[in-house]
Amino acid sequence: MSGASITAEPPPKAAPPEPGGASTSRYVTGALFLVPAAVLLGVWLVYPTIYTIVRSFFGQSGYLGTWVGIDNYRALFTTSTLVTAIKNSAIWVAVVPAFVTAFGLLFAVLTERIRWAVAFKTVVFLPMAISAFATGVTWRIMYQQNPDQGAINALGRTVSDAVSSPGVLSNALPSTSALQSKGGGLLLKTPLHPGGVALLGLTGIAPEDVPQGARQAAKPSGKSGAIEGVVWKDFKPGGGKAGVVEQGEVGLPGVTVELHDSSGKVVQSTKTDADGGFAFTDVGAGTYNAGIGASTFAKPFGGYSWLGPDLITPALLIAYIWIWAGFAMVVIAAGLSAMPREVLEAARTDGASEWQVFRRVTVPLLAPVLSVVFITMIINVLKVFDIVIALAPESVRSNASVLALAMWTSAFEGGGNFGVGSAIAVFLFLLVIPVLALNIRRFRREA
Amino acid sequence: MREIRSRKRAVRLAALAGVVAVLVAVAAGCGGGGGGNNNSTSTGSSVSGSIKFWGIWAATEQKAFQKVIDGFHQQYPNVTVTYSSKGNDIPTVLSTAIAGGNPPDMADVAQPGLVKQLVQQGKLKPINYAQSTIAANFSPAWEDLGKVNGKLYALLFKASNKSTLWYNVNVLKQAGVQPPKTWSQMVSDAKTIKASGTPAYSLCGANGWTLTDIFENLYLRRWGSAKYNQLSEHKIKWTDPSVTKSLQDMAQVLGDTGNIYGGTSGALQTDYPTCVDYAFATPPKAAFNFQGDFVSLEILQATKSKAQKDFNVVPFPAIKPGPNAKAVETGGDLIVTFRDSPAIEAFMKYLASPQAATIWAKLGGFGTGNKHVPASVYPDPITKTTEAPLAGATSVAFDMSDNQPASFGATTGQGEWGIFQKFLQHPTDISGIQQQLESAASKAYKSGK
């Protein structure tokens, strides 16, 4: 069956009208015209389909390999990575078509009423002009957990900083075990009496995080009737001695220090000087504890782990809906503009509210268009592949896997298991068939 | 195999040039094979013939190898060696040429697995004639890397060192610690570094192979190459106590989550070479980076760090004293022969000699296990630190994935790579990780390679 030689044949000369043989020659002509398409379909669609179905019952490698029966299909539902892929594909089908259609409808209806409709539509449609792979790479950068790198978490940080600002020493750690954490802050366990000195040493502070104007720390000598102390960076190259103020260790200015009485109540509060020193004066007799307030250690917003195993699928869904909402909008807007205006006007004249018009008139009239979008999206989503591979980091690829990706991974990456790969392909094919059938039925009805 | 990726771009262009060169070589007459005088041991002028050599090296590397060839010409003026670069496509190009019945005389390949495959197909010639030269210049461990089923088929001419630890000079100075010599010293230094305000480790957890590389170094340096090879061939189970011990070593780093830049979840999203960039960024984000010798170029290109002043390298910290403390995980280019002739024999022996290795070593980007190449020939201190330990290593091994079925040892997010990423997430669950590794391994080895 040499396709090339057949397709290369010159088209048959138009047969002169012959009485009698007319219908036969018409069939021959028709058949000849169909041959190229038939060959293309046969080589690139029919043969691979049949081969894949047959191949799915055979083992790992080779043109056919060894017969394994339905083992590959069993693997499909027992291998944990493949089960994850099936689950994820189900989530995709459940979420994406509905959201894309809903957003498309929303945008289409709303753009009818605004002035810069064309500009708005262009912007929403723009993602369609970008390849899914590029979209994946872009969103992957936007989803970075570090708010310094990912745009989405940077937004989160702006909001969270506005609500509660991070502390001056958010990463600091106590240098000795005498300092224990309490309610987000630190409390010195050693009891203090008037005239005592509190040493509040901190480590884990990067040089660039030391507050400006910090000077060499000095250990106060103690003053009767007062509790003095120092908050300092208890670290010098090599580590230094923990809990001892040494030459080369700087004080930490601007730290909120609190004095607790024996019942744990905060009786005084002050801020440290440039050398980290602080003093509580007029302290009555009794036992006290000094500590550093929680606000000093308030962590800045660290960002959500969008690309982590838990959020990766929602992250992918958002990016994918972003791409396709524009497509849905354009198709639905076209349907909307073809809609008979009189019906809408009539409804309004009869006193229907805008919501009722939308619910009872617009949507039912748009139903055929909406179903086109919905069905197209189901098919699109079942075969989704590129955005997953571009967006999901390798460490979560098995968490983000979908059927098409699992097919590729099984067949071509690593193991090269063509048997399982084919089984996934067949499974995918079976899932698409009902949708196709629906689509074909709709075409017939419309014709 | 990792360094190959970074080579790839340069190689593409050069591959084109290579194709042209081959066409010329073919046109010039592919009689090849040599003939000529049988007296291969005496001085060079009595040997004549021509050698068709296909290799992976392109651009700078091709020029360097040409210098090596030139050195050979001085000894053997009557032998012509024609080198042509096939770039990274060499496995495909070779198998096509073999299928077509016209392989080159010699070739260099970066995949030990391919050498094994070619031997099994009966395509390679043993190089026993070079055995005495290799034994005189290399320790037995290096000689073994060229053996398949006990027979000598290949010479690891250009070796890389994956047993290195890169560190940020300024962070260590700030923390007041010395570059670590032992693993336990590194772990305790890491605490001091954390107290100084910078996390100690930068990990590329998004790429599983960077994690398995750390494990492989730990395992090799604790247990030696014999056990290492048994594990990679699955003759030792992954539930073995030796694996437990090495995973515990590894957990000292992975479990120190507050000391990993970005924490566990940040590290899992950091891919190679981003973690390298983090460790050498200004201001620095971490102190240590576990990578092989291949990252120095990345550091120089992607960051403002200067060699020695800002970044430096030490051998991978020793796990325990003894001969394995200097064990090296290596990769590199193996030279194999498809034919026998006096000219080929002479060239193979020459390549095993210190003269040949020295020529390239002086030009940089080259390491060798040849013990008669002095450390002084390496052009800069960084290269000297990374490559000189090769010659002194008495225990060497290839990456484990070279011996493993790809579905276990080299698949993104699955098998060993994926399970080590889980280990990064759950560094305390050592026995669970071992169970997962064992079940994935036994499945992969059962279904064949």
Picking from A395, A398, A399 by the largest number of B CB atoms within 10 A of its own CB, the best residue to mutate is: A395
DSSP track, A109-125 = HHHTTSTTHHHHHHHHH
Q: Is the pLDDT of residue A415 over 90?
A: no
Contact (CB<8Å) B447/A146:
no
Q: Is the pLDDT of residue A126 over 60?
A: yes
Mean pLDDT of A367-383: 92
Taking the C-alpha atoms of residue B2 and residue B273, their distance in angstroms, rounded to an integer, is 11
Q: Is the peptide bond before B126 cis (omega within 30 degrees of 0)?
A: no
For residues A387 and A373, the answer to whether their CB atoms sit within 8 Å is no
Contact (CB<8Å) B196/A175:
no
CA angle B223, B224, B226 (to 5 degrees): 110
Contact (CB<8Å) B176/A414:
no
The confidence score (pLDDT) of residue B41 equals 44
Picking from B194, B269, B282, B424 by the largest number of A CB atoms within 10 A of its own CB, the best residue to mutate is: B269
Sequence-distant (≥ 6) Cβ neighbours of residue B151 within 8 angstroms:
B119, B126, B128
Per residue in B229-288, pLDDT (tens digit) is 999 999 999 999 999 999 999 999 999 999 999 899 889 989 888 999 999 998 899 999
Mean pLDDT of B87-97: 84
Per residue in B16-67, pLDDT (tens digit) is 444 444 444 444 433 333 333 333 344 677 899 999 999 999 888 999 999 9
Contact (CB<8Å) B206/A238:
no
Q: What one-letter code names the amino acid at B104? A: P
Alpha helix stretches (DSSP H) within B138-238: 140-145, 169-175, 183-195, 208-232
3-state secondary structure (DSSP) of residue B425: helix
Work out how many CB contacts closer than 8 A connect A with B: 109
Residue B108 confidence class, pLDDT cut points 50, 70, 90:
very high
Return the sign of the alpha-carbon dihedral for residues B439, B441, B444, B445. Answer: negative
B91 phi-psi bin (left φ>0, alpha ψ -120 to 50, beta other): alpha
Contact (CB<8Å) A209/B407:
no
Size of chain B in residues: 449
Pick from A239, A148, A155, A248: nearest CA to B283: A148
Sequence-distant (≥ 6) Cβ neighbours of residue A209 within 8 angstroms:
A169, A171, B197
Residue A212 confidence class, pLDDT cut points 50, 70, 90:
confident
DSSP state of B109: E
Distance, in angstroms, between B179 CA and closest chain A CA? 12
Contact (CB<8Å) A235/B283:
no
Mean pLDDT of A20-42: 87
For tokens 């099936």, the residue is A86
Pick from A234, A222, A232, A231: nearest CA to A192: A222
- Please give the structure tokens belonging to residue B166: 């890169």
pLDDT over 70 percentage in chain A: 94
Pick from A417, A408, A413: nearest CA to A384: A408
- Please give the structure tokens belonging to residue B202: 């930068």
Distance, in angstroms, between B171 CA and closest chain A CA? 10
Span of A311-325, A407-421, B377-391 with lowest mean pLDDT: A407-421
User: Which residues of chain B have a CB within 8 Å of the CB of A146?
Assistant: 262, 266
CA atoms within 13 A on the CB side of A406: 30
User: Which residues of chain B have a CB within 8 Å of the CB of A145?
Assistant: 262, 265-266, 269
The confidence score (pLDDT) of residue A19 equals 54
Compute CA distances B392 → B139, B218, B324, B375, whole Å.
9, 18, 11, 10
Q: What one-letter code names the amino acid at B101? A: G
DSSP state of B153: -
User: Which residues of chain A have a CB within 8 Å of the CB of B192?
Assistant: 238-239
Q: Is the pLDDT of residue A182 over 70?
A: yes
Using CA coordinates, name the residue in chain A closest to B205: A395
DSSP state of A362: I
Mean pLDDT of B184-203: 94
The confidence score (pLDDT) of residue A13 equals 56
Distance, in angstroms, between B191 CA and closest chain A CA? 9
The residues pairing with A268 across neighbouring beta strands, listed in sequence order, are A259
Picking from A171, A394, A401 by the largest number of B CB atoms within 10 A of its own CB, the best residue to mutate is: A394
Q: What are A's interface residues with B at a Cβ cutoff of 8 A? A: 60-61, 81, 144-146, 171, 173, 175, 203-209, 235-239, 305, 307-309, 393-398, 401, 409, 413-417
The confidence score (pLDDT) of residue B10 equals 44
The confidence score (pLDDT) of residue B31 equals 36
User: Which residues of chain A have a CB within 8 Å of the CB of B198?
Assistant: 206
Residue A299 confidence class, pLDDT cut points 50, 70, 90:
confident
Span of A21-25, A70-74, A260-264 with lowest mean pLDDT: A21-25
Q: Is the pLDDT of residue A15 over 70?
A: no
Taking the C-alpha atoms of residue B417 and residue B426, their distance in angstroms, rounded to an integer, is 14
The confidence score (pLDDT) of residue B17 equals 45
Contact (CB<8Å) A81/B414:
yes
Contact (CB<8Å) B262/A173:
no
Using CA coordinates, name the residue in chain A closest to B264: A308
Mean pLDDT of B114-127: 91
Using CA coordinates, name the residue in chain A closest to B422: A395
Sequence-distant (≥ 6) Cβ neighbours of residue B245 within 8 angstroms:
B222
For residues A235 and B196, the answer to whether their CB atoms sit within 8 Å is yes
3-state secondary structure (DSSP) of residue B333: strand
Mean pLDDT of A358-370: 90
Contact (CB<8Å) B268/A61:
no
The confidence score (pLDDT) of residue A3 equals 40
Q: What angle separates helix B430-446 from helix B415-425, to the nearest 10 degrees?
A: 170
Compute CA distances A266 → A168, A201, A282, A389, whole Å.
21, 20, 15, 55
Residue B445 confidence class, pLDDT cut points 50, 70, 90:
confident
- CA torsion, points B41, B47, B51, B56, in degrees to nearest 10? 40
Pick from B118, B125, B267, B280: nearest CA to B204: B267
Selecting from B197, B269, B418 the residue whose C-beta is nearest the C-beta of A393 gives: B269
Taking the C-alpha atoms of residue B247 and residue A230, their distance in angstroms, rounded to an integer, is 43
The confidence score (pLDDT) of residue A170 equals 80
For all residues of chain A together, what is the average pLDDT? 87
Taking the C-alpha atoms of residue A388 and residue A412, their distance in angstroms, rounded to an integer, is 16
A434 Cα distance to chain centroid? 30
Residue B448 confidence class, pLDDT cut points 50, 70, 90:
low
Q: What are phi and psi of A244, to 5 degrees?
A: -120, 130
Taking the C-alpha atoms of residue A323 and residue B30, their distance in angstroms, rounded to an integer, is 56
- The DSSP element (H or E) to which B106 belongs, if any, is strand B106-109
Q: Is the pLDDT of residue B213 over 90?
A: yes
Mean pLDDT of A20-31: 81
Mean pLDDT of B378-392: 92
Taking the C-alpha atoms of residue A76 and residue A410, their distance in angstroms, rounded to an integer, is 10
pLDDT over 70 percentage in chain B: 90
User: Which residues of chain B have a CB within 8 Å of the CB of A81?
Assistant: 413-414
Residue A98: how many other CB atoms lie within 10 Å: 13
Contact (CB<8Å) A414/B407:
yes
Per residue in B300-337, pLDDT (tens digit) is 988 999 999 999 999 999 998 988 899 999 988 999 99
Mean pLDDT of B57-85: 94
Residue B444 confidence class, pLDDT cut points 50, 70, 90:
confident
Mean pLDDT of A342-351: 89
